[in-house]
Chain A
């Protein structure tokens, strides 16, 4: 009898709970996206003229980790930029107009995923251009396909394994390992007494590339390595790592993060472990993610290189028109700007600049022009310039460097701290990696 009453009580309780839970469930259902209104047809001209031929379609592929916030935001921003390009007349090559059709495939941040996506783009979709891959592991899967099939690849990964003197069609549009020196120049500006360091990085080609750069910088600037810490992509518990890092008491921690959540969790764990020293990150903070997992006290003083100078109330945004334009486009379509995509769209700008310069859609010709001489192109992070890589035997202009803007967190707000010009960044690279005068020759 008693058990039946208990069962009845349980059932009534369940029913009430379902009623309570219903509004939450409807609240978390995916929101319907209203399709954009079809473009209005312009009024026909009063005098009959032969209609201009419709622009041809140029297929461009992108391969991104859509299981990661970086990939999702990069896809959104690349799409916005190509749509904007199409809306403003498209690409013009030898007097002919082309509208770009962007095809995105997911690489799941893996080498196999990158390879499969590249094969699909090249063999099924017949694309001749791939822009924007950002995951180092994925890029290493893409390159064998694109090099063999003479497809132009402009990626944003950070691994130096993506360079090879025999490659002809592979270019990087995002400053990576070589630009680490800029972060150290900034760190030393913040604290000239840095003598020891720890590096916290993701345990992948991306993280190891930055750690190599960090070690080289440490050697140049007289900073002793205390210890390096690696974490896997899925790590969310940084307690042990932070406790150990804090106990070693380095003067400075160079943090190589993969998402805003990671940065927030690492900073919180370091704070919980009693660490209150200087942390400089190679990635812009992603505030909606950081605020969700970290606290203002933990984030105070967090220093970083930003890829989105529009976040600063004062500072260099006025000199970064690409950043301002991208933000405007993003806010018009998605509302709140989170700045993540600004990190990953350099490939778009280099691609457009290269096509303009080559005035051709032949990947061979474009690659030859890209490799032969430096190209300077505007990006949200400032003016980017292609460079050689004498330190790893790359004599063509296949990598790049950019101006650098730095910020510091104060009261959970981003405050502008400093900027370095291209020349200053290049000087830092030459100081750390040597080969003075071989990275870049002014045209």
Chain B
């Protein structure tokens, strides 16, 4: 492998991994705080991409504004979903799984009916290549890496340094104790679901100018993100970050050596985790029922 190829694959893997991290963090937040396994999470990713498409290509707004509107729209949808569905089934993990699977179908078929099956796209916002030490790299992917780094830093700051973040962590650790401290846990659940869904929507909106947009695009994303959180630990944000990046890099480097069989390697690793460490890298045995 030449140095050029190595750097290119590294950048590709990091960019893909950062997107996995964004989507997986949302899923982990919702699972960790609201105790809902959101099988419709991939659809929030898809809807984020469509929201950006409509804002940029139909309404003619600039991409930055489109991105913000898409995030807000998906946050709103997440909040509404919590109020209408999640709130009522929150304590029952099986019921929650069934309900979110139903939601996933509704969102996907709804998108198919509303937007059609034809793929759509947003023209590249950062076209062109940048040459560093003789190695050409796409500007678009470097921007995505930096943008997602910024977003993850902001999320970390909110969770660790703000009152809202402390409330979220308190509810995550012990709902009853948090309530005794005057924290409105229902409001925290609502906000957490809105933030979690908006992270998926944001990832979709970021990727909209890179790939094509279509109703089934969330399916593959959910699949890989599920694997990421199994490896990282179901309720661990740190785990989502490490496993997300690892998955992105593994898929990109794997393709160069074994082609399309790279996904099998990821599945094998997940299978190994399920056998020998089902609570993942940063999870706790009780999360995996141990």
| Residues of chain A having any CB pair with chain B under 8 Å | 2-4, 6-7, 10, 13-14, 17-18, 20-21, 23-24, 27-30, 66-69, 72, 230, 234, 236-237, 239-241, 243-244, 247, 259, 261, 264-265, 268, 271-274, 289, 291-295, 297-298
Contact = CB atoms under 8 A, between A and B. Distances in A.
Contacts of A239: 12, 16, 252
Interface stretch (B23-31, B88-96, B111-119, B266-274): B111-119
30 contacts: A3-B184, A7-B187, A10-B79, A17-B76, A20-B69, A23-B59, A24-B54, A24-B58, A28-B114, A66-B117, A69-B119, A237-B211, A240-B12, A243-B12, A247-B2, A247-B5, A247-B8, A272-B141, A274-B8, A274-B136, A289-B118, A289-B119, A292-B122, A292-B123, A293-B121, A293-B211, A294-B124, A295-B127, A295-B128, A298-B127
Contacts of B117: 66-68
Contacts of B212: 236, 261, 265, 292-293
Name which of A21, A240, A261, A264 has the most chain B CB atoms within 10 A of its CB.
A240
A69 B121 CA distance: 14
Contact of B5 (A243, A261, A289, A293): A243
A208 to B, nearest CB: 15
A69 B117 CA distance: 8
A325 B191 CA distance: 58
Contacts, number: 123
B220 A295 contact: no
Contacts of A247: 2, 4-5, 8, 256
Interface in B198-249: 211-212, 214, 216-217, 220
A428 B128 CA distance: 39
A313 to B, nearest CB: 24
Contact of B251 (A27, A68, A230, A240): A240
B5 to A, nearest CB: 5
A194 B119 CA distance: 34
B252 A24 contact: no
Nearest to A273: B8
A297 B127 contact: yes
Given A261-B121, A268-B124, A243 B220 contact: no
A2 B166 CA distance: 14
Contacts of A293: 119, 121, 123, 211-212
B123 A291 contact: yes
A21 B216 contact: no
Interface of A is mostly: helix
Contact of A28 (B4, B115, B128): B115
Interface in B118-150: 118-124, 127-129, 136, 138, 140-141
Given A240-B251, A295-B123, A17 B211 contact: no
A261 B214 CA distance: 11
B223 to A, nearest CB: 12
B109 to A, nearest CB: 13
Contacts of B194: 10
B140 to A, nearest CB: 7
Nearest to B136: A274
In the A-B complex, the 3 residue pairs with the closest CB atoms:
A293-B121, A292-B121, A240-B255
Contacts of B128: 295, 297
Contacts of B129: 271-272, 274
Contacts of A68: 117
B122 A10 contact: no
A291 B195 CA distance: 33
Contacts of A236: 119, 211-212, 214, 217
Interface in B47-63: 54-55, 57-59
B275 interface: no
A24 B59 contact: yes
A203 to B, nearest CB: 8
B84 interface: no
Contacts of A3: 183-184, 187
Contacts of A18: 76
Name which of B2, B127, B128, B191 has the most chain A CB atoms within 10 A of its CB.
B127
Nearest to A259: B119
A297 B128 CA distance: 8
Nearest to A21: B73
Contacts of A274: 4, 8, 129, 136
A6 B187 contact: yes
Nearest to A7: B187
Given A237-B16, A295-B124, 20 more contacts: A6-B191, A10-B190, A14-B76, A17-B72, A24-B58, A28-B54, A67-B117, A68-B117, A234-B216, A237-B211, A240-B12, A240-B251, A247-B8, A272-B129, A272-B141, A289-B118, A289-B119, A292-B122, A297-B128, A298-B127
A227 to B, nearest CB: 9
B32 to A, nearest CB: 20
B9 interface: yes
A213 to B, nearest CB: 22
A308 to B, nearest CB: 18
B250 to A, nearest CB: 11
A27 B252 contact: no
A24 B55 contact: yes
A297 B126 CA distance: 12
Contacts of B122: 292
B180 interface: no
Contacts of B4: 247, 274
A392 B284 CA distance: 62
Name which of B117, B183, B187 has the most chain A CB atoms within 10 A of its CB.
B117
